[in-house]
């Protein structure tokens, strides 16, 4: 098919060969020349050359008949009636498609104005912003998590999406009311240890710094006088030095892969979530994270969606691994996992060490500073 | 390049590494299997039908025989023939 209009010409009689030679000498491009019988020849000619054909045909005694026209100009003129409305419909569909993927309206409900403002600010940075592409924003559960994590006052976030508008409902946590009528309690030691420091909010301390306490010993009492008549609740922290013997296993193999800090971003398109096509392959990089970016049409999610993938390049081992430092870090991590995140390791000593090919087993003695208080209700005997 | 003496033109193609079709002003004929034939530097169409196409060249004519022959493209310098080509022969007038 030619982008210029073509005409099928039937030439009858005369000296067709000479006629053709004359045509090509004058630069007319002739295509698909076919002899039907002795008299008739069919061929395709550019339709702009028709006047020239008509002018020269008499010299060679040919009769011309013009049949089909083809090529884009003729195709257009044939479809003149219904093509523009069709193009219009397609364009308007595209327009709706485009607009369906824009965030139009965001309403934040609930909470105090300050919190709402803070939430709004945060939403802006997460891409949930009026006029933004839906594909450019983080997905809803990420936004919810992000709000919950970064704004302390918010205790619940619900994001509901209706069409291209988003409604964000926030619930603020109410500050705990001081319960004056609490039951009288003591604080007792949950573990044996040496008291390092105390912070008593309410009650009467019975131990002193550097005292050694056994498990179950009373640390802070709710009895304010000796006779046990004035009772209150005990509240506070008693930080004590506690000893542990722990077994730690450190695996070296996990330190053999180093990550390069910058991830490579790749886009892919998928149909029905199954046929995925990534124009620029990821090579042998390792997938770090992929995010789905659905495409909307009005309220519906289209089966076509595109995805964002982040890859990182894996590099072979760090040439010089500071093993001792790594052991130290890994031990600290494992201790925190075993004893709780808030503990403060003050002293550690390896009692026994055993090394395999890429594992180290350690038996350790550690001193840790932690809060050992445990609440215990004072039995009033009634 | 008719003015190049024949001795010199032979020398040019043998030792000067120049293609023969350029030096001798011959048509260049290229075939793809037996379905496609391409002639450059022809001097006009002499006669044609479904089984025989005769193309004029400098010192004679090229006769293409076959079945269902169609001239796909016809230009001043080149001609493209498609169909089932059985025979391409050369008729020299000199």
Using one digit for the tens of pLDDT, what is the confidence trace for A309-339?
Answer: 888 776 655 545 566 777 777 777 887 887 7
Q: How far is the alpha carbon of A42 from chain B, nearest alpha carbon, in Å? A: 10
Residue A1 pLDDT level (bands cut at 50, 70, 90): very low
Q: What is the mean pLDDT of residues A343-369?
A: 83
Q: How far is the alpha carbon of B64 from chain A, nearest alpha carbon, in Å? A: 14
Q: What is the mean pLDDT of residues A371-376?
A: 87
Contact A20, B43 (CB under 8 A): no
E strand or H helix at A322: none
Count of CB pairs separated by less than 8 Å, A with B: 39
* Count of domains for chain B: 1
Candidates A348, A341, A149; CA nearest to A241 is A348
A208, part of any domain? yes
Q: Do B73 and A21 touch (CB under 8 A)?
A: no
Per the prediction, chain A carries an average pLDDT of: 81
pLDDT, greater one: A71 or A184: A184
- What CATH number did the domain enclosing A139 receive? 3.10.20.310
- Same-domain check for residues A190 and A164: no
- What CATH number did the domain enclosing B69 receive? 2.60.40.2000
B12, part of any domain? no
Q: What is the ipTM of this complex?
A: 0.76
Q: Which domain covers residue A14, as residue numbers? A: 6-78
* Count of domains for chain A: 4
Q: Which domain covers residue B62, as residue numbers? A: 26-92
The reply to whether B70 touches chain A by the CB within 8 Å rule is: yes
The reply to whether A15 touches chain B by the CB within 8 Å rule is: no
Q: What is the mean pLDDT of residues B50-68?
A: 89
- Same-domain check for residues A266 and A239: no
The reply to whether B47 touches chain A by the CB within 8 Å rule is: yes
| Whole-number CA gyration radius for chain A | 42
A279, part of any domain? yes
Helices (runs of H) and strands (runs of E) counted in chain A: 7, 22
Segment among A89-103, A319-333, B29-43 with least mean pLDDT: A319-333
A96, part of any domain? no
State the DSSP string of A43-73.
Answer: EEEEGGGHHHHHHHHHHHT-EEEEEEEESHH
Which 8-state DSSP code applies to residue A254?
Answer: G
The reply to whether A29 touches chain B by the CB within 8 Å rule is: yes
Would the pLDDT of A171 be above 90? no
A84, part of any domain? no
The reply to whether A322 touches chain B by the CB within 8 Å rule is: no
A74, part of any domain? yes
* Residues of chain A positioned with their CB less than 8 A from the CB of B73: 29-31
The chain B residue lying nearest A41, using CA atoms, is: B49
B78, part of any domain? yes
Q: How far is the alpha carbon of A307 from chain B, nearest alpha carbon, in Å? A: 46
- How far is it, in rounded angstroms, from Cα A322 to Cα A320? 6
- Same-domain check for residues A186 and A61: no
The reply to whether B73 touches chain A by the CB within 8 Å rule is: yes
Would the pLDDT of A381 be above 70? no
- How far is it, in rounded angstroms, from Cα A265 to Cα A121? 27
* Residues of chain B positioned with their CB less than 8 A from the CB of A29: 73-75
- Same-domain check for residues A184 and A250: yes
- Same-domain check for residues A245 and A332: yes
A155's CB contacts (< 8 A; 6+ apart) are: A171, A172, A173
């Amino acid at each position: 098919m030619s982008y210029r209009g073509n005409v099928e010409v039937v030439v009858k009689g005369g000296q067709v060969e000479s006629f053709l030679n004359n045509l090509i000498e004058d630069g007319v491009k002739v295509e698909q020349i076919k002899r039907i019988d002795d008299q008739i020849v069919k061929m395709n000619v550019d339709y702009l050359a028709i006047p020239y054909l008509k002018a020269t045909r008499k010299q060679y005694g040919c009769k011309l008949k013009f049949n089909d026209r083809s090529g884009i100009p003729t195709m257009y003129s044939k479809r003149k009636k219904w093509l523009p409305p069709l193009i219009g419909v397609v364009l308007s569909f595209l327009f709706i498609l485009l607009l369906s993927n824009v965030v139009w309206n965001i309403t934040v409900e609930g909470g105090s104005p300050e919190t709402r403002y803070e939430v709004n600010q945060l939403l802006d940075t997460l891409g949930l912003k009026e006029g933004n592409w839906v594909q450019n924003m983080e997905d809803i559960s990420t936004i919810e998590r992000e709000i919950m994590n970064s704004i302390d006052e918010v205790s619940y976030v619900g994001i509901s999406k209706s069409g291209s508008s988003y409604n964000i409902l926030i619930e603020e946590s109410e500050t705990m009311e001081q319960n004056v009528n609490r039951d009288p309690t003591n604080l007792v030691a949950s573990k044996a240890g040496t008291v390092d420091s105390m912070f008593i909010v309410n009650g009467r301390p019975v131990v002193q710094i550097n005292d050694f306490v056994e498990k179950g010993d009373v640390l802070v009492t709710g009895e304010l006088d000796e006779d046990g008549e004035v009772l209150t609740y005990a509240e506070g922290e008693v930080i004590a030095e506690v000893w542990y013997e722990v077994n730690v296993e450190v695996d070296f193999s996990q330190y053999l892969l180093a990550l390069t800090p910058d991830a490579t971003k790749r886009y892919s398109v998928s149909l029905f979530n199954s046929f995925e096509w990534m124009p620029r392959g990821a090579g042998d990089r390792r997938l770090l994270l992929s995010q789905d970016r659905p495409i909307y049409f009005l309220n519906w999610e289209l089966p076509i969606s595109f995805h964002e993938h982040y890859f990182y390049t894996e590099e072979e081992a760090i040439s010089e691994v500071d093993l001792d430092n790594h052991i130290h870090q890994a031990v600290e991590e494992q201790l925190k996992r075993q004893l709780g995140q808030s503990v403060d390791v003050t002293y550690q000593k390896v009692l026994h060490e055993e090394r395999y090919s890429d594992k180290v087993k350690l038996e350790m003695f550690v001193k840790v500073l932690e809060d050992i208080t445990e609440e215990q209700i004072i039995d009033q005997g009634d | 390049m008719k003015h190049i003496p024949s001795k010199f033109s032979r020398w040019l193609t043998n030792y000067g590494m120049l293609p023969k079709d350029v030096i001798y002003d011959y048509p260049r004929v290229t075939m793809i299997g037996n379905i496609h034939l391409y002639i450059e530097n022809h001097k006009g169409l002499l006669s044609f039908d479904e089984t025989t196409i005769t193309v004029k060249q400098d010192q004679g004519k090229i006769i293409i025989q076959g079945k269902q022959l169609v001239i796909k493209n016809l230009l001043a310098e080149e001609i493209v023939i498609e169909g089932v080509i059985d025979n391409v022969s050369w008729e020299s007038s000199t």
